[in-house]
Amino acid sequence: MSSSSGGRLDKARESARLESDPVIATGAVDEVVLPEAAPDSVPAGPRARPARAPEAQESPLRSALSVLTTIGPPLTIATALMFYFGWARSNRQAAAMGLGDVSLFGYSTQDYVLLSISTLYIPLLVMTILALAWLALHRRVAYMLESPATRPRLRQVGLLAFGGGVAAAGAAVLLATLDPDQAPLVLPLVLAGGAAVAAYGAWLAGAANDSRGRLPPPVPWQRALQILLVGTVITLALFWEVSKYADVVGLGYARRIEQRVSQLPRATAYSANPLGVLAPGVREERIDVGPGSDSATMRYRTSGMRFLVRSGGRVFLLHDGWTLEEGTVIVLPDGEDTRWQFSHY
């Protein structure tokens, strides 16, 4: 009796619970939609920011390659200019001294570069300062391009720069064509500067143009070709300037040697055989040696010479009173059968 009545009591309680819960009484519900809170009723909390992907760190190799790509072409051009200047300067000096061609000196590539450092470091320093100033100006212009109010004025400046650069470059080419021998030394610099200013002015006018009729941007290969052509014009103009400057410097070095012949070291050669030097003021005399001396004994002494340079297995000498018009450059082999003595007296 007690067990059966307890079971009926449990069933009655379960039935009452099901009837009191409407969700369970109606059966399973696929989706329960919660009511949205009113915008003004609940203060809006801070929104969760989306997680940012970690930035890819640039590898040291890529950074090094980027730096080399940036400074590589200017450094290559500067080295080529220094080599060409050293060769052109030495060639002009050799021609002025009556040697005909610089190949007689037997200079190496390193020699040409070293010969140009003492003369070109100031022009290269000036070019570096101008490049830094241009970079600072370009950053300022790029900042001003972000403001729509300044773009019309920048476009006018770009058009003026383009026109002035083209006019300057054209005038330089015209003057050089009419009289190439009397072209001033600064003319190649005008050509290079005019080309650079014209190219930058064209870019500035296009970047500051907000009109609907603006031209579409060039395709990548056209832009690369334009940069290549402008760079070629500037590079050729710089080589032209280096050539003209080297002529002036080479002739100046030759005249400086002429004025300072008496200050060059005296050179005396001792040899086993006569050297056969025929030049004004050069004396060759026989040295008395003992009867037991062999054929390698230094029997001749040649004096009255001034040391100029030693290169390519040769010794280049001048004689006292040497001049550009009447002087003779003495070239002797630098071998073991000749001994040299140098002095200031």
Q: Which residue has the tokens 């003492």?
A: 118
Give me the residue label for tokens 């940036």: 70
Q: What per-residue confidence (pLDDT) applies to 66?
A: 58
CB-CB neighbours of 131 under 10 Å:
11
- Closest by CA to 246, choosing from 74, 91, 80, 76, is 91
Per-residue pLDDT of the chain (345 residues; tens, 9 = 90+): 444 445 554 555 555 454 545 444 444 444 444 444 444 444 444 444 444 444 445 565 565 555 445 555 677 888 888 899 999 999 999 999 988 788 888 888 889 998 888 888 888 889 889 989 999 999 999 999 999 899 999 999 999 999 999 999 999 999 888 887 777 888 999 999 999 999 999 999 999 987 766 667 778 888 888 888 998 999 999 999 999 999 999 999 999 999 999 899 999 999 888 888 888 889 999 887 655 555 556 788 999 999 999 888 889 999 988 999 888 999 998 888 888 999 886
**Domain coordinates of the chain in residue numbers?**
72-259, 262-343
Would you say 307 and 269 are in contact if contact means Cβ atoms under 8 Å apart? no
Whole-number pLDDT of residue 24: 43
203 burial (CB, 10 Å; 0-12 / 13-18 / 19+) is middle
Place of tokens 């060639």: 91
**Would you give the DSSP letter of residue 77?**
H
Answer yes or no: are the C-beta atoms of 178 and 224 closer than 8 Å: no
**CB-CB contact of 303 with 319 (8 Å):** no
- Block residue for tokens 């021998």: 181
pLDDT of residue 53: 42
In this predicted model, what pLDDT tens digit does every residue of 160-182 receive, in sequence order? 999 999 999 999 999 888 887 77
CB neighbour list of residue 248: distance below 8 Å, 6 or more residues apart: 185
Q: What are the angstrom distances between the C-alpha of 99 and each of 150, 242, 327?
A: 62, 22, 11
b/e burial code for range 111-130 (CB count within 10 A of at least 16 → b): bbbebbeebbeebeeeeeee
Is the entire prediction scored with pTM above 0.85? no
Residue-level pLDDT at 185: 86
Residue 134: closest CA among 72, 199, 79, 73: 199
Query: How do strand 314-319 and strand 338-343 relate by DSSP bridges?
Result: unpaired
**pLDDT, tens digit, 9 for 90 and up, residues 68-87:** 455 556 778 888 888 999 99
What the block records as the tokens of 84 is 């060409």
Long-range contacts of 141-147 (CB under 8 A, 24+ apart): 141/204, 145/207, 145/208
Two tokens, residue 324: 């550009």
